[in-house]
């Protein structure tokens, strides 16, 4: 099939960006969306032009590196899907596809479709861990974990940190990301000792980074490639309120 | 130079204990003055950086991705082995050790592998304490499953995302140290040179991939945790960015490369769909617990798989290997699939695939579930529905992934699978302390060659990465740094740093100056085709000799005709890739030389000239029970050093999974 692509091009974070239009032809329906971009880039290199920069690595939907905003949707039209797993059988000959980077103040553009998501790392640094030095652990089966809680914890831990939730949110809020980490760890007995400080510190860091507030729109859940549930945000709110009310803020 | 593996003396189960009790220590005040560079933040790198930071060393960690959490360990699916014997099925440290040595076709070091088996249990404890949500049973205790090459259930898992959960655990530990200031993290940085001062590795030159600037970093020691080099084949299950560059730079600075030709071809990957293919996707080996592998008994059978009756199917692994069935090791399963496809029994439009079928498992689980729910007279359709739910809970994300990529529903039709490059057992030669032949330079995880011999068993890569990072390097590094406590940090205006930076700069300028006509990608594809055709699942002397010549001419062409757009001092992924492909080309040549030199078949290295009557790998223990460690002597010139492998405990025999 032959397609028209309108792609955001921006040299770096100091310059203005703009959409550029490209044509690609002979795209097979079996290609992945990023392989279609490979074709485009090969074509641009052959024409002596600069290829489109985009983030990608594992190409199997787990590393969280790919990050395209396709026709107004984070990771494109498929649900529970990353850009790298989107396949071209979704499109038909003659389609026009608009591709933008994640847009959020806390994710400044590095180049074209590549953004800086180190704000997520700093949120984890503020409390997204269990403080256990190597060698301090008791036997793994010493502490049984109720299966339901373990499963819920795992469901939250499936977050790949791609930032689609932020990109999809009109407020560019990172609540789904933060709540997934708080849920993952607070549902486990191992995470209990730091539970309160974690919730408070991570929310504070989220605010410091310039992410927006949550107004219960739910676009984050709808666009999350791993199906992280809004329930996690409800849980984060409970964790945060109970931590603040018990006066345990900043005890880390 | 004689290779000294530094294996401690004593009985196999006392070596590591003795080492730990007698190695030198560094006191806390001195640790604060010792700087460590960790390159790569996968399981090995993240766990090492976090552990060393906790101990009080000053650590700098580097990754080329945008965050340490993206490292390719994240894509490991099936699980991690540990000799916990929680299932009471006869597992023990010795059995894990034995299975790994046998699975590696007797080409791994006993001392290293036993240590790996010993610390495996600590890894699970550590990960659970750090919040890794492993699968659990209703009683709240950890669940296990089986993997290839073993007869016990010792694999811990988190659905089909075990690597992700383990890496996130290690990453969180790393980020905690970043927040405490013991680790400084450099993302989107690529290591491009090792800096040597007075014969020791004392730092690196790294390129900031966003600005294109070169940076000098000092370290009393440098740890390479940079993964494997499967992308030399272009198509592999590795991430697009996975590369050999850091290891190759170290090799050129004097680090020997061990068994470069030992590559693992994983039997269950989604087949290639066309020329556009950029990477291959693995379907976890755990699927072989329940999936049955088959091809039609008749050549060129074009019927739909569901139309082929039971008696016209050849469940060839169950037929040939009744003891292990579908759970034979990866090299064996891969070879059999290739053989049958080459002989015309393949399925799908390309005919380069075999079926992995869950119909029997769905029915079996459905019946159990119906009984559980008291539905004695459940209809076939009801049973199938119940069975699908069970299979979904075990492998749901893998089935979903298969459907996204192929558009086929594996709950209804069998998956089509074919082998693909997945892991490299070869890597930088290291001694028992994980130090390369360059003093002060270490290699951990897949980047080293040490523990898997000629074939890695499933669920052992995660184990080795974390063993090296959490439990081995904290001891062995201290043993060496104890002699370095009087060494002051070397300022980075030292001539050695300047010279190394100049070398990197010159090379980048040379690449950018070629201004040829062909893209980097096109060279990578051509290299991959040479490697896959002639140094892949089956190798022979004639093909390898041809491959060496073809790679030499490809190298020439690359350095005269590659086109790299953009500038040096900016974000330029084409330039990054060009440097990596240039290194892959040189490595490819060495892999072929090594494969040609090893006149035997063992594990993943299958030389067609050396096979038993029924097509199994035929080892030559007399002449090749050794590690081939290659020394770099200038462009295309390598000298081999042998490390003889001594088996004190296990008696090598013809591997049999029948």
A–B CB contacts, 8 A cutoff, strictly below: 219
Direct distance between the N- and C-terminal alpha carbons of chain B, in angstroms, rounded to an integer: 42
The CATH number of the domain covering residues in B507-620: 1.20.58.100
Alpha-carbon Rg of chain A, whole angstroms? 20
> Helices H, strands E: what count in chain B?
18, 21
Q: Quote the tokens at residue B108.
A: 């791994």
| B367-426 residues touching A, CB cutoff 8 A | 400-401, 404-405, 407
Rounded distance between C-alpha atoms, residue B650 and residue B658, angstroms = 19
Distance of CA B298 to the CA centre of its chain: 36
Nearest CA in chain A to B574: A51
Direct distance between the N- and C-terminal alpha carbons of chain A, in angstroms, rounded to an integer: 56
Share of chain B above pLDDT 70, in %: 100
Most A-contacting residue of B139, B168, B185, B211 (CB-CB within 10 A), to test interface: B168
Span B306-310, average pLDDT: 96
Is the pLDDT at A249 greater than 70, yes or no? no
B534-568 burial by CB neighbour count: b if 16+ within 10 A, else e? bbbbbbbeebbeebbebbeebbeebeeebbbbbeb
pLDDT on residue B518: 96
Give the single-character DSSP code of B210: T
pLDDT on residue B396: 86
Distance from CA of B321 to the nearest CA of A (A): 32
Separation in Å, CA A36 to CA A5, B426, B499: 10, 33, 42
CB B278 within 8 A of CB A34: yes
CB A180 within 8 A of CB A232: yes
Rounded distance between C-alpha atoms, residue A109 and residue A119, angstroms = 13
Q: Please report the DSSP string for A73-112 in residue order.
A: EET-SSSS--GGG-BGGG--TT-EEEEE----TTS-EEET
* Position A252 confidence tier, pLDDT thresholds 50, 70, 90: very low
Rounded distance between C-alpha atoms, residue A32 and residue B405, angstroms = 8
Nearest CA in chain A to B64: A57
- What is this structure's pTM? 0.97
Separation in Å, CA B265 to CA B158, B356, B398: 24, 17, 19
Indicate yes or no: CB of B69 within 8 angstroms of CB of A42.
no
Indicate yes or no: CB of B401 within 8 angstroms of CB of A130.
no
Check if B131 contacts A (Cβ < 8 Å).
yes
> For A91, how many CA atoms within 13 A lie in the half-sphere containing its CB?
29
- B528-573 pLDDT, tens digit per residue, is 999 999 999 999 999 999 999 999 999 999 999 999 999 999 999 9
Rounded distance between C-alpha atoms, residue B463 and residue B120, angstroms = 6
CB A203 within 8 A of CB A217: no
Check if B133 contacts A (Cβ < 8 Å).
yes
Q: Please report the DSSP string for B53-87 in residue order.
A: HHHT-EEEEE-SSSSGGGSGGGG--S-EE----TT
Q: B110: burial class by Cβ within 10 Å (0-12, 13-18, 19+)?
A: buried
Please report residues of A whose CB lies closer than 8 A to that of B51.
133-134
The CATH number of the domain covering residues in A118-245: 1.10.1060.10
Rounded distance between C-alpha atoms, residue B322 and residue B105, angstroms = 20
Question: Which residues, 6 or more positions from B339, have their beta carbon under 8 angstroms from its beta carbon?
Answer: B615
Rounded distance between C-alpha atoms, residue A63 and residue A57, angstroms = 7
Check if A101 contacts B (Cβ < 8 Å).
no
CB A123 within 8 A of CB A202: yes
Please report residues of B whose CB lies closer than 8 A to that of A111.
570-571
Facing B407 at nearest CB: one of A11, A35, A89:
A89
Please report residues of B whose CB lies closer than 8 A to that of A39.
276
3-state secondary structure A69-83: EECCEECCCCCCCCH
| B66-95 residues touching A, CB cutoff 8 A | 66-70, 72, 74-75, 84, 86
Q: Please report the DSSP string for B478-540 in residue order.
A: HHHHGGGTTPPPPPTTSHHHHHHHHHHHHHHHHHHHH--SEEHHHHHHHHHHHHHHHHSSSB-
Check if A208 contacts B (Cβ < 8 Å).
no
Question: Which residues, 6 or more positions from B495, have their beta carbon under 8 angstroms from its beta carbon?
Answer: none
Check if A79 contacts B (Cβ < 8 Å).
no
Facing B137 at nearest CB: one of A131, A135, A147:
A147
Q: Would you kindly state where each structural domain of chain B is located, as residue ranges?
A: 267-421, 507-620
Most A-contacting residue of B133, B184, B185, B468 (CB-CB within 10 A), to test interface: B133
Question: Which residues, 6 or more positions from B564, have their beta carbon under 8 angstroms from its beta carbon?
Answer: B511, B512, B514, B520, B572, B574, B575, B578
Indicate yes or no: CB of A63 within 8 angstroms of CB of B239.
yes
Q: List, by residue number, the catalytic residues of B.
A: 330
Facing A150 at nearest CB: one of B136, B164, B519:
B136
CATH T-level assignment (fold) for domain B267-421 = Flavocytochrome C3; Chain A, domain 1 (3.90.700)
Helices (H), B181-235: none
Please report residues of B whose CB lies closer than 8 A to that of A35.
276-278
- B338-390 pLDDT, tens digit per residue, is 999 999 999 998 899 999 999 999 999 999 999 999 998 999 999 999 999 99
Is the pLDDT at A6 greater than 70, yes or no? yes
Distance of CA A186 to the CA centre of its chain: 21
Which strands form B441-443's sheet, in the order they lie side by side?
Answer: B183-186, B58-62, B35-39, B221-224, B441-443
Question: Which residues, 6 or more positions from A159, have their beta carbon under 8 angstroms from its beta carbon?
Answer: A176, A177, A180, A181, A184, A224, A226, A228
- B399-422 pLDDT, tens digit per residue, is 999 999 999 999 999 999 999 999
Check if B626 contacts A (Cβ < 8 Å).
no
Q: At what angle do helices B43-55 and B473-481 cross, to 10 degrees?
A: 50
- A168-214 pLDDT, tens digit per residue, is 999 999 999 999 999 999 999 999 999 999 999 999 999 999 999 99
Quick check: ipTM above 0.95? yes
Indicate yes or no: CB of B210 within 8 angstroms of CB of A154.
no
Question: Which of B160, B169, B188, B352 lies closest to B271 in space, CA to CA?
Answer: B352
Number of residues that make up chain B: 658
CB B195 within 8 A of CB B216: yes
Check if A19 contacts B (Cβ < 8 Å).
no
Separation in Å, CA B560 to CA B17, B511, B523, B566, B574: 54, 9, 12, 18, 16
Share of chain A above pLDDT 90, in %: 96
CB B296 within 8 A of CB B345: yes
Check if B142 contacts A (Cβ < 8 Å).
yes
Nearest CA in chain A to B563: A45
- Scan for tokens 């766990």, then name that residue: B47
Span A117-131, average pLDDT: 98
Rounded distance between C-alpha atoms, residue B41 and residue B71, angstroms = 6
Q: In A11-65, where do the E strands start and end?
A: 18-24
Check if B178 contacts A (Cβ < 8 Å).
yes
- B59-79 pLDDT, tens digit per residue, is 999 999 999 999 999 999 889
- A14-59 pLDDT, tens digit per residue, is 999 999 999 999 999 999 999 999 999 999 999 999 999 999 999 9
Nearest CA in chain B to A189: B131
Separation in Å, CA B287 to CA A236, B283, B346, B399: 35, 7, 20, 10
Question: Which of B211, B379, B647, B283 lies closest to A110 in space, CA to CA?
Answer: B211
- B64-120 pLDDT, tens digit per residue, is 999 999 999 999 988 999 999 999 999 999 999 999 999 999 999 999 999 999 999
Is the pLDDT at B149 greater than 90, yes or no? no
Class of domain A3-110: alpha beta
> Helices H, strands E: what count in chain A?
8, 7
Q: Would you kindly state where each structural domain of chain A is located, as residue ranges?
A: 3-110, 118-245
Question: Which of B525, B134, B324, B308 lies closest to A153 in space, CA to CA?
Answer: B134
Distance from CA of A178 to the nearest CA of B (A): 13
Span B243-251, average pLDDT: 98
Separation in Å, CA A13 to CA A165, B607, B646: 22, 53, 58
Indicate yes or no: CB of A188 within 8 angstroms of CB of B566.
no
Facing B565 at nearest CB: one of A45, A55, A188:
A45
SS3 label, residue B133 = coil
Is the pLDDT at A251 greater than 60, yes or no? no
Distance from CA of B165 to the nearest CA of A (A): 7
Separation in Å, CA B222 to CA A215, B48, B434, B504: 48, 12, 11, 18
Q: Please report the sign of the dihedral spanned by the C-alpha atoms of residue B267, residue B270, residue B274, residue B278.
A: negative
CB B174 within 8 A of CB B41: yes
Question: Which of A80, A85, A77 lies closest to A33 in space, CA to CA?
Answer: A85
Check if B569 contacts A (Cβ < 8 Å).
no
- B440-453 pLDDT, tens digit per residue, is 999 999 999 989 99
Rounded distance between C-alpha atoms, residue B499 and residue A29, angstroms = 50
Question: Which residues, 6 or more positions from A14, have their beta carbon under 8 angstroms from its beta carbon?
Answer: none
Nearest CA in chain A to B564: A45
The mean of the pLDDT values for chain A is: 96
Question: Which of B323, B320, B316, B272 lies closest to B292 in space, CA to CA?
Answer: B316
Rounded distance between C-alpha atoms, residue B6 and residue B101, angstroms = 19
Is the pLDDT at B624 greater than 70, yes or no? yes
Give the single-character DSSP code of A137: P
> For B466, how many CA atoms within 13 A lie in the half-sphere containing its CB?
34
B34-67 burial by CB neighbour count: b if 16+ within 10 A, else e? bbbbbbbbbbbbbbbbbbbbbbbbbbbbbbbbbb
Span B312-325, average pLDDT: 95
Is the pLDDT at A248 greater than 80, yes or no? no
Facing B51 at nearest CB: one of A134, A141, A160:
A134
Distance from CA of A219 to the nearest CA of B (A): 22
């Amino acid at each position: 099939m032959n397609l028209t692509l309108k792609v955001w091009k921006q040299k770096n974070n100091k310059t203005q960006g703009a959409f550029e239009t490209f044509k690609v032809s002979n795209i097979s329906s079996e290609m992945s969306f990023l392989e279609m971009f490979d074709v485009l880039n090969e074509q641009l290199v052959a024409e002596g032009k600069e290829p489109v920069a985009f983030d990608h690595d594992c190409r199997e939907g787990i590393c969280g590196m790919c990050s395209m905003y396709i026709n107004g949707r984070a990771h494109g039209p498929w649900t529970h899907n990353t850009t790298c797993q989107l396949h071209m059988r979704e499109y038909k000959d003659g389609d026009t596809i608009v591709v933008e980077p994640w847009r959020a103040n806390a994710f400044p553009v590095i180049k074209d479709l590549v953004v800086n998501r180190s704000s997520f790392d700093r949120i984890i640094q503020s409390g997204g861990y269990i403080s256990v030095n190597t060698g301090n652990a008791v036997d793994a089966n010493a502490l049984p974990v109720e299966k339901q809680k373990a499963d819920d914890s795992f469901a939250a831990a499936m977050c790949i940190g791609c930032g689609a939730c932020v990109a999809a949110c009109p407020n560019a809020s990172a609540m789904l990301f933060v709540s997934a980490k708080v849920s993952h760890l607070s549902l486990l007995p191992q995470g209990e000792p730091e539970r309160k400080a974690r919730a408070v510190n991570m929310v504070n860091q989220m605010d410091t980074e310039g992410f927006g507030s949550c107004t219960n729109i739910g676009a984050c859940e709808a666009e999350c490639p791993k199906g992280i549930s809004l329930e996690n945000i409800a849980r984060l709110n409970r964790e945060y309120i109970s931590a603040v009310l018990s006066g345990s803020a900043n005890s880390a | 130079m004689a290779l000294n593996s530094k294996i401690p003396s004593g009985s196999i189960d006392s070596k590591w204990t003795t080492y730990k009790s007698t190695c030198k220590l560094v006191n806390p005040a001195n640790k604060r003055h010792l700087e460590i560079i960790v390159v790569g933040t996968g399981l090995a790198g993240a766990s090492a950086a976090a552990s060393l930071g906790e101990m009080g060393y000053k650590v700098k960690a580097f990754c080329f991705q945008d965050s340490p959490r993206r490292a390719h360990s994240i894509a490991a699916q099936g699980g991690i082995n540990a000799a916990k014997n929680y299932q009471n099925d006869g597992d023990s440290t010795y059995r894990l050790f034995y299975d790994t040595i046998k699975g590696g076709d007797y080409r791994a070091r006993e001392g290293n592998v036993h240590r790996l088996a010993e610390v495996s249990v600590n890894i699970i404890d550590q990960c659970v304490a750090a919040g890794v949500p492993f699968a659990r049973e209703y009683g709240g205790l950890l669940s296990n499953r089986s993997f290839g090459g073993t007869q016990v259930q010792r694999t811990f898992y988190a659905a089909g995302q075990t690597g992700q959960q383990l890496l996130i655990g290690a990453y969180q530990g790393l980020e905690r140290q970043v927040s405490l200031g013991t680790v400084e993290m450099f993302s989107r940085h690529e290591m491009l040179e090792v800096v040597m001062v007075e014969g020791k590795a004392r730092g690196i030159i790294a390129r900031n991939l966003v600005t294109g600037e070169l940076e000098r970093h000092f370290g009393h020691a440098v740890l390479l945790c940079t993964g494997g080099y499967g992308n030399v084949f272009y198509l592999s299950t590795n991430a697009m960015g996975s590369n050999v560059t850091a290891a190759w730079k170290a090799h050129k600075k004097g680090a020997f490369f061990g068994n470069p030709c030992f590559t693992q071809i994983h039997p269950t990957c989604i087949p290639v769909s066309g020329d556009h293919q950029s990477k291959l996707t693995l379907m976890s080996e755990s699927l072989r617990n329940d999936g049955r592998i088959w091809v039609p008994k008749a050549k060129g059978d074009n019927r739909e798989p569901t139309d082929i009756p039971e008696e016209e199917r050849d469940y060839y692994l169950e037929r040939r290997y009744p003891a292990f069935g579908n759970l034979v090791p990866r090299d064996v399963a891969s070879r059999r699939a290739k053989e049958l496809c080459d002989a015309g029994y393949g399925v799908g439009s390309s005919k380069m695939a075999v079926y992995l079928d869950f119909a029997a498992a769905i029915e079996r689980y459905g019946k159990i579930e119906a009984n559980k729910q008291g539905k004695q007279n459940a209809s076939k359709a009801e049973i199938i529905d119940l069975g699908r739910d069970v299979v979904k809970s075990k492998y749901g994300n893998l089935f979903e992934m298969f459907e996204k990529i192929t558009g086929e529903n594996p709950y209804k039709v069998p998956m089509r699978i074919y082998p693909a490059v997945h892991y490299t057992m070869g890597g930088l030669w290291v001694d028992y302390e994980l130090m390369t032949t360059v003093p002060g330079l270490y290699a951990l995880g897949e980047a080293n060659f040490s523990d898997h011999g000629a074939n890695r068993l499933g669920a052992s890569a995660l184990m080795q990465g974390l063993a090296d990072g959490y439990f081995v390097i904290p001891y062995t590094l201290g043993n060496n740094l104890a002699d370095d406590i009087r060494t002051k940090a070397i300022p980075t205006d030292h001539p050695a740093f300047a010279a190394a930076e100049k070398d990197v700069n010159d090379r980048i300028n040379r690449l950018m100056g070629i201004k040829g006509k062909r893209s980097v990608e096109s060279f990578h594809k051509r290299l991959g085709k040479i490697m896959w055709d002639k140094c892949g699942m089956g190798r022979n002397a004639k093909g390898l000799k041809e491959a060496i010549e073809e790679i030499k001419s490809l190298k020439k062409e690359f350095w005269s005709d590659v086109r790299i757009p953009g500038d040096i001092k900016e974000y330029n992924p084409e330039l990054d890739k060009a440097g990596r492909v240039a290194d892959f080309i040189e490595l490819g040549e060495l892999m072929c030389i090594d494969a040609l030199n090893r006149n035997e078949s063992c594990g993943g290295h299958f030389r067609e000239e050396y096979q038993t009557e029924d097509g199994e790998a035929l080892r030559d223990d007399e002449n090749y029970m050794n590690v081939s460690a290659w020394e770099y002597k200038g462009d295309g010139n390598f000298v081999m050093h042998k490390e003889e492998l001594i088996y004190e405990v296990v008696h090598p025999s013809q591997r049999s999974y029948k």
